[in-house]
Structure 1
Amino acid sequence: MPKSVPKPAPSPAGRTPKGVAKREAILDAALEVFGEVGLHGASLREIAGRVGVSHQSLMHYFPTKNELLMAVLRRRDERLRRHFDDEGGMSLTELISLAEDNVGMPGVIELYNMASAEATNDEHPAHAYYAEFYESIIASNARYLQRAADRGLLREGWTPESAARAILGMMDGLQLQWLYDRDDVRVAESLKLLVSALISAPLSELDDPVK
């Protein structure tokens, strides 16, 4: 008798092209719902309904609401995270570029502000994530700003870490203000003014490692 051919192992949820597309659709819908009603007000059934899939189908990809929230947050922060380990730290040019692009993604900013504020409670599912995120981005920007300090370009009284915290704090605060007044608040332009007040040279000089 011919040997039976073993069936291939089933692909993990979201690994096939169709699965990837459905997973992304779920994340898009979750971003909308989380941005509208927050983590506690959101339901998996509501998110599934917006995608047009069953509750059970959604849970195949994300068994719990907390897992779905973390997936949404990680996707949101992926662009920044891939620069955290850059040699010499993440460029402030990239941070400002992100602020410019965020103008087209108000739902992302709404979720970020809502989740990061709620996550200050150490029992929140995203508490450890945000604690690590802030520590990592500050450390990466501080390494970048160390270049300015080493070249005598960082204004007197500032350290790389204090400047990094001021820049990120201003970005977060301005993005919150922008949600209230999208016509008058200019996040990227204000960040550029702060950076020019902290560093006595164009960022292009710091972005060029040979200078």
Structure 2
Amino acid sequence: MNRPARLAVAALTVSAALLLTACGSGGGDDSSSDKIKGADAGSEKTSASPSAPASQDVAGRPEITLSKDFQANFEGWTNSDPKLQAILDDGREELRSKYAAIIESNPDSDAVAFYNSGTSLASAREWIKSFTDTDDGLIGKVTVSRPQVHINDTGAGVLFYCVDERKASTKNRKTGKVTTTPDKPESVLQYRERLDRNSQGVWKNVSLTTVAGGCG
């Protein structure tokens, strides 16, 4: 399992990268069926897509709201295949649920549990707790782009995407101190996520690794 870390924003004394080894279990399956051709090339054209969560549905997906001081902008988050779009939708909300939990100072967020399972859930909660323990929240914005998605030969969803956090910061709730993210290539990470579809049709995160500078 990868060691959870802070946003590089608050990790200047701990880590050089924002979400490096954060948010999930590391050492994910590196089989060929879990690789996406050209995932590191970063040449895919993107277009803006809404970041607002979908309304609650029969699966009971939670409504996730971020504060007015923090934005997560998703670009190019669409796919013409409904099955792949479903993975994108749940993958987006999984990430938003963790941001919301940090902002709400709630490591035990039900929304985070809704979109994560097993070791991925334990790691997500540990990562969120690293913010709540120091009473830090999130401000600014992140841009989430260049999603690449497929279903592998075992039926699992594989989702790669880029997170640019160079315009994100942490803000201490007690002191008001703001720590900005370094404007460096390492502050743009590639997320490599594996998801399993449960009986309610929800694609839950079961494995996540991050690569600092992986979207260069």
TM category, shorter: under 0.3
State the TM-score, normalizing by the size of structure 1: 0.24
Structure with greater proportional helix content: 1
State the TM-score, normalizing by the size of structure 2: 0.23
Structure with greater proportional strand content: 2
